[in-house]
Amino acid sequence: MKNQTIGINGMNCMNCVGKIEKGVGALDGVLNLSIDLKGKSMTLDLDEGATPLSKVHETIGSLGFEVFEHKPKGFFGKIFKK
């Protein structure tokens, strides 16, 4: 089980959120699905043995939305470690 955050363009309202929740939530191996309309992102726990991440992306695309690489707020491209 892997926690994934996916950026989604094209969501404008709660109907969009419901459409994505229904479509992606119906896939095998998808658990704890949460969509942030304002942040244009979706977080889910995914069993990639049951459904690969590419299938989740394909499903979102088939619903009329665009997937993009989600970067946490304040992320500037590098992670610094001490």
CATH label of the domain that carries residue 63? 3.30.70.100
Residue 66 forms beta bridges with which residues?
A: 9
The answer to whether residue 4 is domain-embedded is no
Give the domain extent around 39: 18-68
Neighbours of 42 (CB within 10 A): 25
DSSP state, 16? H
Distance, in Å, from the CA atom of 11 to the CA atom of 28, rounded to the nearest integer, reads 23
pLDDT recorded at residue 74: 55
pLDDT at 79: 45
Within a domain: 51: yes
Closest CA to 35 of 65, 62, 58, 76: 65
Write the pLDDT tens digit of every residue in 17-64. 999 999 999 999 999 999 999 999 999 999 999 999 999 999 999 999
The answer to whether the beta carbons of residues 23 and 44 sit under 8 Å apart is no
In a domain, 37, yes or no: yes
pLDDT tens-digit map of 63-74: 999 999 877 665
Could you give the number of structural domains in the chain? 1
Residue 59 within any structural domain of the chain: yes
Flag whether 55 is in a domain. Answer: yes
End-to-end CA distance of the chain: 29
* Domain contains 38: yes
